[in-house]
Amino acid sequence: MQKTIIMPLIKSISGIRGTIGERKGEDLTKEDIVLYTRSFVVWLKSENYIINNKIVVGRDARVSGKMVQDLVLDTLTKMGVNVICLDLSTTPTVEIAVPLEKADAGIIITASHNPRNWNALKLLNNKGEFINAKDGENLLKIANSNPSENNTYKLGIVEFKDNYIDVHTDMIINLPCVDVDLIKSKGFKIVVDAVNSTGGIAVPNLLKKLGVNVVKLYCDPNGEFPHNPEPLKENLTDLSKLVVNEQADLGIVVDPDVDRLAFVSENGEVFGEEYTLVACADYFLKNNPGNTVSNLSSSRALKDITELNGCNYFASAVGEVNVVEMMKEKNAVIGGEGNGGIILPELHYGRDALVGIALFLTHLAGLDISCSQLRDKYPNYYMSKDKVELSKGLDVDAIIENIKLKYSNQKLNSIDGLKIDFEDSWVQLRKSNTEPIVRVYSEAKSQNTANDLSSRFISEIKNFS
């Protein structure tokens, strides 16, 4: 069972999130949920974005989800807005439903990979994409002004639709790049760890349509996360053991809202979250050449694979919105983030674990090799993720600028903090917007080298402090 983690309420341009509770200004309270839902509608109306007077709402399975959903639905209908409620769903499913329903916006109730006592509101535009930074700033201003309830004499109505996971998975299996017959011919046996959230509904739904023998692990959508829900190696012990014990072909793990994806090979070894996008892109580019995009904190392996396929790679600032904006700018055919998030524009502009599963299985089936053999095809990189705590009042920008000058003879990228590319490694320094820290990410061809690189730049930061 997860340890309860209490963190302060976070209000930002990307929405609101925090631990469910009653401490005003510290927890995500009922009043906060109502305020941000109301502010979202006020902002939509101020921008003349309300055209069809319809918003799609869905949630993951965390224990507070039903309570938060009830508050959101009550607030929206009191403001005269009609709601299409998907109830238990996934983030990518809601993203797909918004344009299909011709809705003006979407609200996803999920704290993604955060622990069970967290929740959040993710806000979508009428394309089913996350609102951008400028829109988020304007929304935040409205929320900070504490707008009045502005209830209407004509209440909105709620229509529940529970078929959208089927709609979503049917769209995936009908993609030209997904070879259903080929996957079925392999008779794959796959263990699924859905951390007791909505992936326990959606992932088996897709796999059964692909003819897979599914072994369920933590697939009861009751919100009782059996381990830390972030799909990292240290959290996948049970999945690795069951894959080996069941003599399965591989294991699949998703986060609570099913936008992150990782695999475990048949030998119990973790395939590596960073390599989910690498493998999917490798397959897709061989059949659909084009540009790729990931963020600056993602593995260099995607760049290597993209160039091996004769295509061009581009890096964006961290954050799904930034990745999507660059994908559109560069007309990328596939992209995502190193945290296992696959974005396939042919389906929609959002991280989608379900489409990643279909691409990965088509790739694996086509090569007719094991999961571990597929992993061996890709270059090995190792990451170190660290941070430096700084005294308040320090000029972090000046510290980073000094390091930039010191390494001016190297390849530098200042899109998001400072990234320094060396011949066989890189390091990125990013200032936190919410804490007096600098995040230090590094990657190299051995774990020791990556760790040493991080330590070196932590010392550099302290020397300039």
What is the set of active-site residues?
Answer: 112
- Which residues have C-beta within 8 Å of that of residue 303, sequence separation ≥ 6? 313, 315
Question: Which CA distances in Å does 431 have to 72, 136, 318, 414, 456?
Answer: 33, 20, 12, 12, 17
Residue type, 309: N
Residue type, 84: I
The b/e string for 203-222 (b: 16+ C-beta within 10 A; e otherwise) is bbbbbebbbbebbebbbebe
User: 347 burial class (0-12, 13-18, 19+ CB within 10 angstroms)?
Assistant: buried
Name the phi and psi angles at 139, rounded to 5: -65, -40
H helices within 231-315, ranges in order?
Answer: 237-245, 274-287, 301-308
Q: Which of 375, 356, 365 is nearest to 206 (CA)?
A: 356
**Which tokens is 14 given?**
């990307």
H helices within 309-444, ranges in order?
Answer: 320-330, 353-367, 371-376, 396-406
**Which tokens is 15 given?**
């929405």
- Which residues have C-beta within 8 Å of that of residue 463, sequence separation ≥ 6? none
Under 8 Å between Cβ of 350 and 320 = yes
- The residue length of the chain stands at 465
User: 86 burial class (0-12, 13-18, 19+ CB within 10 angstroms)?
Assistant: buried
Q: How far apart are CA 203 and CA 443, in angstroms?
A: 31
Q: Name residue, tokens 């941070």.
A: 387
Sign of the alpha-carbon dihedral angle for 277, 435, 387, 465: positive
Q: How far apart are CA 452 and CA 443, in angstroms?
A: 10
**Which residues are bridge partners to 217 per DSSP?**
193
